[in-house]
Structures are given as C-alpha cells and as structure tokens.
C-alpha cells in the first residue's frame, strides 16, 4: 500500500507488539520511521522519534534514547494545534526512563505525561494506560508502597473498564503485583496475576509470561515457599523460546529473582547456589545496567552469608545500601542497611 496508509499501520504495529514481542515491534518501528520521513509530515516524524526513544531504551542504548527523546520534546513544544495527536511523545519518555532503570525520572516523567495527556487530548486511553502502568512499576522499584497501594487498584479497575489488555495486565502483574504483598495479601496477589495472564495466548514467547512468573515467584518468596518459586521459573523456562529478545529492564529483574530464589532455597536448608546461578550476577550489571549494581551487591551479600562469610556479607550489604540509594531504590537501600548491621 501507499506510505500514507502504511505509516499508521506500522505505528500501531510497533506500539501493539512492543509489550509482547520485541523483534517484530522493532521492525515495525523502523518501518514507521522510514514512512514518516518519506511522507515528511511533522506529526508522523514526531511520533516516530518518540517510538525510537523507546526502542533504543529497550535495547539498552540510553544515549540514543535520550537524543530521540530530546528531539521529540522539542517537537512537542512547537506542535501547537498538532499537540492533540502526539500523546505518544510524553508517554514514551516515562516508559524509556523505566527501561533504563531511572526510577525517580520515571515517576517525574509519568506525572508530567498524565497531566499533559489529560489537558491536551480526549480518548487517549492507550497512552494514559501505559503511563499509569509504568508509574506503578516506578513506585514499586523505589519502594513507595504507600502510594503504590493507593493507586494500583484504581489503575487496574480503569484499565479493565476500558478493555485495555496491556494496562490491565501490567497493573496486576509484574512489579505492580507487589501492591498486594505490601497489603499482606499473598493469595490475592497470586489470584490477580493468574487472572491477568489467563487472557493471553499460550502460543509464542510473550513477555507477559515473564512478568507473570516474576509476580508469582515474588509471592512464593514472600510466603517462604522457595520450592514453589523455583517451580514457577522452571515452568517459564520450559515454555518460552530459547532465543528471545527481551527489553530492558526485564533481563535484570529476572536475573535478580532467579538468584533470590536460589538463595532462599539454600537458606531453607537446600543446596547452595550453583555456578550457573552465581553467574546471574554478571547478567545484572551487563551493558548499561548501572542502576542494578546495588541489586548485585545485595545478592553478593546473600551469597557470602550462604558461604559462611558474615564479614563479607556485611561489607557487601553496606555497599549495596549506598548503590541502591543512588539508584533511587530507597526501600531496598534501607533493607540492605538493616541486613548489614545484622551480620
């Protein structure tokens, strides 16, 4: 078809597949950018810049993501009457910050995006939904559980009412699911992620399977059931394609929960983490994941405790507290400080 007809199709494809299957989403994003430039219409080009900022962040290229985002922000400031067609621009910035592990910036950008979307648009439920979902993940990562609990239920309810499958899932599973654990409702937490994932196809390697496994594993760890948490991850591994492109920050979050499960198993009297599980520390700090250095240090402290080296555990936990605070993961920083003093 014509470039004019294919551009919105490519844009919809990139946005629709982005939360599900990355390879095809990236291909659609590239076509969207090509068609937008070919047509030369400002709104299409501005949207493509916003989409590319998400694509770059998903691949761990923070510098490129920031350049695309800066160009999109400038375009938005000059958009005038075109502003109502560009809800994706402020929404994309919040998502890109989340993918880069910049949690405080995620919350700031989400607040700005929500206000902008409500002021300039009507009916941009898709953009508003994924901004609110992204905000919930930011609240969970920073450990602001009071605000997370206060907002999560309303976000999930609105997403379900709007039949927004992505936001409805994201508000009840993944990191958002911690809202139920913060309220000491592990059974509800398990039930909600089960309801959310039941709406997804069991074919292919959808990222929602990973988010569901992350939520379930956290529930079982909270309930001191490391064997059940390990079974959740084993089932995920058996059902997912071996070669799957996974966007940031999911690889780090999954490496973190896998090693936490291994440590919980050891502390419950099971075998110590094996060599492959210990290598997960490298996955945590791979590439541009500086934000995850505190998680890695805290897990190293746990490994040192399992190995019987309490002095090393205390030192690594103290270091983790500082690194986590620098990454705006305030709640975990406090826990690391308490853990350090207990050794």
Q: Is the pLDDT of residue 1 over 50?
A: no
Report which of residues 71 and 96 the model is more confident about: 96
Average pLDDT, integer, range 147-170 = 93
**Number of Cβ atoms within 10 Å of the Cβ of 20:** 17
Q: Is the pLDDT of residue 4 over 50?
A: no
The share of the chain scoring above pLDDT 70, in percent, equals 80
Please name the residue that has the structure tokens 């400031």. 77
Report which of residues 306 and 13 the model is more confident about: 306
| Straight-line distance from the first to the last Cα atom of the chain, in angstroms, rounded to the nearest whole number | 66
Q: Is the pLDDT of residue 57 over 50?
A: yes
How high is the pLDDT of residue 44? 64
The rounded distance, in Å, linking the Cα atoms of 1 and 22 is 24
H or E stretch covering 106: helix 103-120
Chain centroid offset of residue 30 CA: 22
Structure tokens at 163: 């039949």
Return the closest-CA partner of residue 72 out of 61, 83, 60, 59.
Answer: 83
What's the sign of the alpha-carbon dihedral 60, 64, 67, 69?
negative
Return the closest-CA partner of residue 85 out of 18, 7, 163.
Answer: 7
The rounded distance, in Å, linking the Cα atoms of 263 and 257 is 10
Return the closest-CA partner of residue 254 out of 236, 241, 242.
Answer: 236
Contact 59, 29 (CB under 8 A): no
Please name the residue that has the structure tokens 């746990």. 302
Mean pLDDT of the chain: 85
Query: How confident is the model over 231-275, as pLDDT tens digits?
Result: 999 999 988 877 676 788 999 999 999 999 999 999 999 999 999
Report which of residues 116 and 81 the model is more confident about: 116
Assign 31 a pLDDT band (cuts: 50, 70, 90).
low
Q: Is the pLDDT of residue 218 over 90?
A: yes
Average pLDDT, integer, range 301-307 = 97
The rounded distance, in Å, linking the Cα atoms of 334 and 305 is 18
How high is the pLDDT of residue 3? 46
Average pLDDT, integer, range 42-49 = 65
The share of the chain scoring above pLDDT 90, in percent, equals 55
**Number of Cβ atoms within 10 Å of the Cβ of 216:** 25
Report which of residues 196 and 124 the model is more confident about: 196
Q: Is the pLDDT of residue 14 over 80?
A: no
**Number of Cβ atoms within 10 Å of the Cβ of 271:** 10
Assign 130 a pLDDT band (cuts: 50, 70, 90).
confident
How high is the pLDDT of residue 343? 86
Contact 136, 152 (CB under 8 A): yes
Assign 66 a pLDDT band (cuts: 50, 70, 90).
confident
Q: Is the pLDDT of residue 59 over 80?
A: no
Report which of residues 212 and 26 the model is more confident about: 212
Query: How confident is the model over 201-213, as pLDDT tens digits?
Result: 777 678 889 999 9
Report which of residues 78 and 22 the model is more confident about: 78
Report which of residues 141 and 42 the model is more confident about: 141
Average pLDDT, integer, range 10-34 = 57
């Amino acid at each position: 078809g014509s470039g004019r007809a294919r551009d919105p199709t490519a844009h919809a494809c990139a946005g629709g597949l982005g939360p599900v299957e990355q390879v095809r989403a990236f291909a659609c994003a590239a076509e969207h950018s090509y068609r937008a430039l070919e047509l030369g219409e400002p709104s299409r080009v501005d949207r493509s810049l916003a989409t590319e900022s998400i694509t770059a962040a998903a691949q761990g290229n923070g510098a490129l993501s920031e350049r695309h985002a800066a160009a999109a922000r400038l375009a938005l400031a000059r958009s005038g009457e075109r502003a109502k067609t560009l809800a994706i621009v402020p929404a994309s910035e919040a998502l890109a910050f989340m993918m880069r592990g910049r949690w405080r910036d995620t919350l700031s950008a989400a607040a700005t995006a929500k206000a902008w979307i409500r002021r300039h648009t009507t009916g941009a439920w898709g953009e508003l939904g994924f901004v609110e979902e992204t905000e919930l993940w930011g609240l969970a990562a920073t450990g602001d559980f009071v605000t997370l609990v206060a907002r999560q239920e309303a976000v999930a309810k609105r997403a379900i009412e709007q039949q927004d499958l992505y936001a409805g899932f994201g508000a009840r599973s993944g990191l958002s699911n911690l809202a139920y654990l913060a309220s000491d409702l592990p059974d509800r937490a398990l039930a909600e992620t089960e309801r959310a994932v039941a709406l997804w196809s069991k074919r292919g390697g959808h990222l929602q399977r990973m988010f569901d496994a992350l939520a379930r594993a956290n529930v079982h760890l909270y309930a001191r059931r490391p064997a059940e948490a390990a079974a959740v991850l084993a089932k995920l591994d058996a059902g997912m394609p071996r070669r799957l492109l996974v966007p940031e920050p999911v690889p780090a979050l999954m490496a973190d929960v896998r090693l936490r499960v291994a440590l919980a198993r050891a502390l419950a009297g099971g075998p110590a983490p094996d060599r492959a599980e210990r290598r997960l520390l490298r996955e945590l700090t791979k590439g541009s994941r500086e934000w995850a250095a505190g998680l890695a240090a805290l897990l190293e402290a746990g490994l040192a405790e399992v190995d019987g080296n309490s002095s090393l555990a205390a030192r690594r936990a103290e270091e983790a507290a500082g690194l986590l605070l620098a990454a705006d993961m305030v709640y975990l920083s406090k826990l690391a400080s308490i853990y350090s003093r207990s050794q």
